[in-house]
């Protein structure tokens, strides 16, 4: 008989506990199958990826509706026993009231955490002014608190991703988001030892999430030694899957060749994994 599945409250408690000490990897599945496989590998938490899911739906990153993303969050939360952190983009709203409403709906999906970005989606003005971004973070905090307060809030400074790789601005934004109620801070694009150390020192004692989304010599042990509390990979696992698919498909289309299948996963291995996984779920 399968063990009782953890409740949403259980998942949220364990997620907060993961952020209290040590360093953990929070990989990013893009569908039910990848979520279940990552759980089977022993990871302690998962995070959605807006890009990975968008591509699986023949869409571009950032172009999906709030309703589509909320449905995806419900699907992933229901599929796994692990806490799930939502890549909730910029909250699907320009103003603080809209962010609060979006966050309320996200919390209702059962996610254990969610991130709010300060990017606007407008190339001419890629970041919200810091005063606006802070008020949006406060609105997210209030919405979480009104729902019980146990969903972890991640504040994201997108400076490095939108062509403004200014460490001082990034740190100023992260500190402001921490003061506005973010439980964990995240600055995708920060990658050197000096940058990471500076950000960690600035936001301490709150935890910092490091993105490792490209081939890197870093190990989990290296990053942990710097004081990083959690590591996410964004769309990198999805891009890795797409990389294998594209390579094999192009070889057939352009060369009439099939050698790329040598790198394919074993069908028997996948069938065995998912058969055993279904048995465990009862």
Structure confidence by residue, pLDDT tens digits, 168-211: 999 999 999 999 999 999 999 999 999 999 999 999 999 999 99
What are the structural domains of the chain?
A: 8-235 (3.20.20.60)
* 3-state secondary structure at position 134: helix
Structure confidence by residue, pLDDT tens digits, 75-130: 999 999 999 999 999 999 999 999 999 999 999 999 999 999 999 999 999 999 99
Report how far residue 15's alpha carbon sits from residue 230's, in angstroms, rounded to the nearest whole number. 11
Does the predicted TM-score (pTM) go above 0.85?
A: yes
Q: How confident is the model at residue 2 (pLDDT cuts 50, 70, 90)?
A: low
* Token pair listed for 128: 């919200």
DSSP per residue, 43-66: -S-EE--HHHHHHHTT--TT-S-H
Q: Has residue 3 got a pLDDT over 80? A: no
DSSP code, position 159? G
Alpha helices in 94-209 (DSSP H): 96-108, 130-146, 167-179, 193-203
């Amino acid at each position: 008989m399968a063990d009782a599945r953890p409740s949403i409250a259980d998942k949220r408690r364990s997620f907060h506990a993961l952020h209290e000490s040590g360093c953990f990897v929070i990989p990013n599945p893009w569908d039910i199958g990848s979520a279940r496989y990552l759980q089977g590998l022993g990871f302690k938490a998962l995070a959605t990826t807006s890009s990975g899911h968008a591509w699986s739906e023949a869409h571009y990153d950032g172009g999906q509706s709030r309703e589509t993303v909320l449905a995806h969050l419900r699907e992933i939360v229901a599929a796994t026993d692990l806490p799930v952190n939502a890549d909730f983009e910029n909250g699907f709203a320009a103003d603080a009231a809209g962010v609060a409403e979006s966050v309320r709906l996200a919390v209702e999906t059962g996610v254990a955490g969610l991130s709010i970005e300060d990017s606007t989606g407008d190339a001419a003005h890629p970041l919200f002014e810091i005063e606006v971004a802070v008020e949006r973070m406060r609105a997210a905090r209030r919405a979480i608190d009104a729902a019980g307060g146990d969903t972890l809030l991640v504040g994201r400074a997108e400076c490095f991703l939108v062509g403004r790789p200014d460490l001082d601005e990034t740190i100023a934004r992260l500190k402001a988001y921490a003061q506005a109620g973010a439980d964990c801070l995240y600055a995708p694009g920060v990658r050197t030892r000096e940058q990471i150390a500076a950000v960690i020192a600035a936001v301490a004692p709150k935890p910092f999430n490091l993105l490792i989304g490209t081939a890197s010599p870093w190990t989990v042990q290296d990053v942990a030694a710097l004081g990083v509390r959690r590591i996410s990979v964004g769309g990198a696992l999805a891009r890795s899957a797409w990389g294998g698919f594209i390579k094999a498909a192009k070889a057939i289309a352009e060369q009439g060749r099939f050698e790329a299948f040598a790198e394919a996963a074993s069908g028997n291995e996948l069938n065995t994994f998912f058969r055993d996984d279904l048995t465990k779920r009862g």
